[in-house]
Structure 1
């Protein structure tokens, strides 16, 4: 989890003392565009000083290199599934923000793509944060180009829709309008009252998603009591990831190397070895054939590779998230992408 603070260019006054620090939760399945939306907000929300909490699923904190920040004040907190660590780390992270000498106007929490947003919301409703913050809305991102009508057989993916106040149908430019219409019908079946917006590249007018007051806390107290009872029954069970991850079969594979990949080998891995049930991958890649730093994103069957300059010593970092995969085989396949030293290439 990282804290990123954006310095405003102008100043707008929000009565935090009266209402508490406004909070927006951004959720959505793997690769739906959450970080892109976050970057868009930070780039365009002039007049507000915004703090962002990011909690990603995976051992390598790649997002702190990918998130657009206007200053270097980034604090590394925990690095695990949001549903497991949220009740411990989120509260402390919010306290750090509230205790900063400079005034913070807005807080955005981005969950991991396999998280149920309800525990995050209940942390703001059912802890000491209730008197210091107010939850404005839960935004759910949906990838129209990689959407499963059965919601990937995932309880977390279902919960993201069910608890969304605003549901953004993203990447509409990559599919037919009839497909987007079918997705919206499916979502209305789950959450009829949600505000549904259609967009490309996570670009949506900010007045439609921030300071909208759409979250109704009165609907969630029954859920909160059920959640507390469940936690009481399971208080002696400790685990690395929350039960919904185990139930849904999600696995995160993290790979890191100080040796470059071969472009040809990595392309072969993507074309011939990558399992279909890898829903999301992202990384900072170093290729033997290129002096550039390459930012890699994969969602479903599509991937992008963008290059820029290295800011640190070159190395490979990649995280893949999938369902019911053989992590050992996948790790070995990625390892074979490493370029051989020159004196071994002919062997």
Structure 2
């Protein structure tokens, strides 16, 4: 790449549990001849996704090319973190051919695009494209795209309701900002669910968008990299619920970090996470656990009551064999004591 060419950046957005980390892992292993760098913008104090990706590092995307920003929304820490991170990646030798940015599942993408207009980097990087991931089963069920008629009827019945839920706004802003939508977990949705999800996305999109079904993040990099969208110059075509506002709110969501001692039975932990979803209005649980007698780390990811787990990599010698979970919920629903009581009942009883 000539030093005069702008470095392309792909912004990968999507709701909690939509499969962003799985997609980036696939791209790292199948870069299409590109040397990649990755920026992971986590929500909360513990960087689970960054650790997952570093465990998948390969020569085309070594561990030093994977940077985690966990101190807040990337578009709100432009001067302190985002700009220095971009400049550090561009100074690597060899220089990356392409940067992937995994946003927090709670992020609004348009404010991030505005960060690319920052004077220090505008002439050096360009947004090659915005990729929105959408969970086919969840979208088909209407959990993140409320029925407009039903919302209008509810507004008429209750004068106190004057806005849509934060979750629907996040979903709609991500779709509106996208250049292409990847419809993930199509096997769980089935043909009818996929058709319904595509209809919902088409209704929410401000312009016709390509929608591609993707299972386990397996997509040809030629489909989503090299779009040349220059999205930072195309802001008017990407409407947001927050257009005209000085900033956007992050107080709608909160997280609790749970430190886990070594466990003997993974099934018990998974059952407690399912119980947590049943008893608390939890959006997402992600993290890892140490299982007695197992040299591999147990990776755990949950969206609502749907829990997935796998052994992802061996524990490193310098790591303590202790697990950590990040639990994310809407601010008004989060109850740290109740969450700890469910996930760590023995500790709660001891106290």
TM-score normalised by L of structure 2: 0.80
- Whether 1:309 and 2:302 are equivalent positions in the alignment is no
- Whether 1:212 and 2:198 are equivalent positions in the alignment is no
Alignment of 1:71-220 (within 5 A): 71-73=62-64, 74-86=66-78, 88-147=80-139, 148-149=141-142, 151=144, 153=165, 154=167, 155-191=169-205, 192-220=207-235
Partner in structure 2 of residue 327 of structure 1: 336
Q: Could you list the per-position Cα deviations for residues 102-124 of structure 1 after superposition, in whole angstroms to 9, with x for gaps in the alignment?
A: 22211111100000011111111
Q: 1:144 to 1:163 in 2, by over 3 A?
A: same
Quote the Cα distance in structure 2 between the aligned partners of 1:188 and 1:228: 21
- Whether 1:66 and 2:69 are equivalent positions in the alignment is no
- Whether 1:270 and 2:273 are equivalent positions in the alignment is yes
Q: 2:137 touches 2:197 (CA, 8 Å); kept in 1?
A: no
- Whether 1:52 and 2:38 are equivalent positions in the alignment is yes
Alignment of 1:278-297 (within 5 A): 278-288=282-292, 290=294, 292-297=296-301
Q: Could you list the per-position Cα deviations for residues 172-207 of structure 1 after superposition, in whole angstroms to 9, with x for gaps in the alignment?
A: 011111111111111111213222111111211111
TM-score normalised by L of structure 1: 0.81
Quote the Cα distance in structure 1 between the aligned partners of 2:238 and 2:193: 33
- Whether 1:30 and 2:30 are equivalent positions in the alignment is no
In structure 1, stretches of 5+ residues that fail to align are 1-13, 235-241
Q: 1:282 touches 1:297 (CA, 8 Å); kept in 2?
A: yes
Q: Could you list the per-position Cα deviations for residues 218-250 of structure 1 after superposition, in whole angstroms to 9, with x for gaps in the alignment?
A: 4316989x989743xx7xxxxxxx51x32xx32
Quote the Cα distance in structure 2 between the aligned partners of 1:105 and 1:202: 21
Q: 1:78 to 1:306 in 2, by over 3 A?
A: closer
Q: 1:98 to 1:329 in 2, by over 3 A?
A: same
Q: 1:250 to 1:227 in 2, by over 3 A?
A: closer
Q: CA RMSD in A?
A: 2.9
Q: 2:13 touches 2:102 (CA, 8 Å); kept in 1?
A: yes
Deviates more, 1:258-267 or 1:126-135: 258-267
How much has 1:76 moved relative to structure 2?
Answer: 5.0
Q: 1:27 to 1:316 in 2, by over 3 A?
A: same
